[in-house]
Amino acid sequence: MLDVRRMQVLRAVISSGSITAAARNLGYTPSAISQQLSTLEKEAGVELLERVGRGVRPTPAGSLLSEHAETLSTQLAKAEAALTELKEGRTGRLAIRYFATAGASLVPLAVAALRREFPGVRLDLKLVEPDDSLPEIESGKADVAMIVLPSTTPRIKGAEYIHLLDDPYRAILPKNHRLARKRVLDLAELAEDPWVGVDGLPGACRDILLDACGAAGFAPNHVVESEDYQTAQGFVAAGLGVALIPELGLGAPHPGVAIRKVRRPDPVRSIHAAVAAHAREHPAVRRFLSAIREGALAA
């Protein structure tokens, strides 16, 4: 098999016209250059240079290999430049998973920041349920996943969990509710009300709601279920019950509801980014996470 480095030495000899000149240009001794050429001729199985006075000139085989050496040098330089851009985070692919309320309010601005600052990075964006993101990190399908992280969530070995923001829950009441005039409610005050469920499936978000109600001394009586926060607001506005909805999920509040803070306890979703081990130091990942925090502060 031909050695690329020796082919480049051959090219240097042909370009300079002599072994001595090539040695001087490359910083080697003439004997080292001659040894490289001798080995290359053995690999090629054909003579590559012939003596002409005090210099050398290529044989047809030598000219052929010299041309290919130039092509290989150009390709190698391109490969090294591409590798440098990849290592510095300016190219490559970044797979990001997010859940609906984060996608609606925070992810678009963060993606726009990435597009401006890392235009060469290809983004693979996918909306998933908050509890479905971690398996994609574990399987290698995703680099970053935005998750709701209660203390009971199993951790993936090697992944880094970075806190992004806390998303407090708000009480959603019909406009004519008996407590609608209060600015802050004790959660226990809603114990006897019918409830509109907003997280029908088991998971971190529903656990936060149930745990908060349990801490206030009651279990909510869900009379209707909705897996969509906007629809849940519509049910509340129609007088079917009350609800707890995280602030990021409020979107454009329904005109028929009153939104109030709650306390004793004040439930909060802790939103984190799970970052795969290989992506921890990726500049685009760091910029995405900082842009999420910036968006949360501006909201």
Is the separation of the CB atoms in 164 and 296 below 8 Å?
Answer: yes
Query: Helices 30-44 and 19-26 sit at what angle, rounded to 10 degrees?
Result: 110
For 236-269, the pLDDT digits (tens) are 999 999 999 999 999 889 999 999 999 999 999 9
| Whether the predicted pLDDT of 198 surpasses 80 | yes
Distance CA 150, CA 272 (A): 10
Cα 31 to chain centroid distance, Å, stands at 53
Q: Which two tokens stand for residue 150?
A: 């209660």
Residue 103 or 264, more confident: 264
User: What is the torsion angle, in degrees rounded to the nearest 10, for the CA atoms of residue 270, residue 274, residue 275 and residue 276?
Assistant: 170
CB-CB neighbours of 34 under 10 Å: 16
Residue 151: pLDDT above 60? no
Is the model more confident about 279 or about 150? 279
The answer to whether the 92-164+270-298 and 166-268 domains have the same CATH topology is yes
Of the ranges 15-19, 152-156, 254-258, which one carries the lowest mean pLDDT score?
152-156
The domain locations on the chain are 4-88, 92-164+270-298, 166-268
Instruction: State the fold for domain 92-164+270-298.
Output: D-Maltodextrin-Binding Protein; domain 2 (3.40.190)
Non-local (6+) Cβ contacts of 260 within 8 A are 170, 171, 173, 179, 180, 182, 183, 184, 185
The pLDDT tens digits of the residues spanning 87-100 come to 666 667 899 999 98
Strands (E), the chain: 49-52, 55-58, 92-98, 121-127, 144-148, 160-174, 184-186, 194-197, 221-225, 243-246, 257-263, 268-275
Domain 4-88 sits in CATH 1.10.10.10: yes
- The predicted model gives 180-185 an average pLDDT of 95
- Name the pTM for this structure: 0.70
| Contact (Cβ atoms closer than 8 angstroms) between residue 257 and residue 172 | yes
Domain 166-268 has CATH 3.40.190.10: yes
pLDDT at 158 over 90: no
Kindly state the average pLDDT of the residues 68-79.
78
